[in-house]
Structure 1
Amino acid sequence: MKKICSLFRRLDDVAITLQPLFALAIRLYLFRVFFLSGLTKLRSWDSTLYLFSNEYHVPVLPPAVAAVMGAGGELIFPVLLLLGFQARFAAAGLFVVNLVAVLSYPGLEPVMIKDHVLWAVLIAYLFFHGVGRWSLQGFLHRGRIAGVRGNHA
């Protein structure tokens, strides 16, 4: 029984050690997916406006406003997530962008919905578990703690 407990403790140590790498990998993946989508919207703005006017049915917002907000969200939130700065705000914003994309496009194929579900789960992971030590937030947090320790030494 002691060997089993020892094995589980070692596995837990490995998981804790690898968490920052896992969070960074998720941030890199989400950055690539959403930022490239935002760049595509910018590069073919006329097509983007056409799609938001005729294909995507974003509730409440005029198509041009929805296009600007969608492209802006896909360009700003992934950068914040990648850097690990204001990450919960960025994750919440990206979650909303992802959700609106699913709800506003009735022609979304089931295989594409699976992608959006995966992205939502990964975004939720970062929202609830944080972006890890290998982030700007982690760096600032470590600096703040070191500063507090330095002031009280």
Structure 2
Amino acid sequence: MKSIVSLALRAFTDPGLAPTRLTASQAVVNSQLQSLALLGARLYVAQVFFLSGLTKLRDWSSTLALFNDIYQVPLLPPTAAAYLGTAGELVLPVLLVAGLAGRFAGAGLFVVNLMAVLSLSADDLSPAAQAQHALWGVLALAVVLWGAGRWSVDRVIRVV
């Protein structure tokens, strides 16, 4: 019990500046918890973007109108932005859920998220929407930085 409390205290107080000295059993628990957190992040972010992509597909003419009239995606023509954004929202989440090319999928969804934020004016993005986009961006970035985790296809094929 004392080692669990010690591990929890270290997890909440370690600034990450120096390597943490964990016992073998603590390292296993820490690794499993990190993988669980990464799996949760992957599943949550994938669901958000995949459902958004399905919404765009359901009414493609409205999607094209939105990209022409409201979304001002930098550097891309509206039609190309609609196709690329929708494709990214449908393909990248599937990769992310499987943990196949997890870092690539996380980076791709980070860019899709960033473009979504940049394409709207500040008046169109409420504080709650800003917070959601920030959360999705941080979770996608975590997958980019730490990989898809132990419970992924990347790990099975040793790409991590």
Q: Any residues of structure 2 matched to 1:138-149 within 5 Å, and which?
A: 138-141=155-158
Q: TM-score, normalised by structure 1?
A: 0.84
- Which amino acid counterpart does residue 132 of structure 1 have in structure 2? G
Displacement after TM superposition at 1:21 (Å): 1.7
Task: Name the residue aligned to 1:93.
Answer: 108
Displacement after TM superposition at 1:135 (Å): 0.5
Q: Any residues of structure 2 matched to 1:42-121 within 5 Å, and which?
A: 42-106=57-121, 107-121=124-138
Q: Does 1:122 align with 2:139?
A: yes
Q: TM-score, normalised by structure 2?
A: 0.80
Unaligned 5+ runs, structure 2: 8-21
Counterparts of 1:75 and 1:27, CA distance in 2: 14
- Which amino acid counterpart does residue 129 of structure 2 have in structure 1? M
- Which amino acid counterpart does residue 119 of structure 1 have in structure 2? W
SS in 1 for 2:157: helix
Counterparts of 1:92 and 1:12, CA distance in 2: 27
Do the aligned partners of residues 140 and 55 (structure 1) sit closer, same or farther apart at CA in structure 2, a change above 3 Å counting?
A: same
Counterparts of 2:73 and 2:155, CA distance in 1: 36
Unaligned 5+ runs, structure 1: 143-153
- Which amino acid counterpart does residue 138 of structure 1 have in structure 2? R
Taking only aligned residues, the RMSD between alpha carbons, in angstroms, comes to 2.0
Q: How many positions carry a matched residue from both structures? A: 140
Q: Tell which deviates more after alignment, 12-21 or 41-50.
A: 12-21
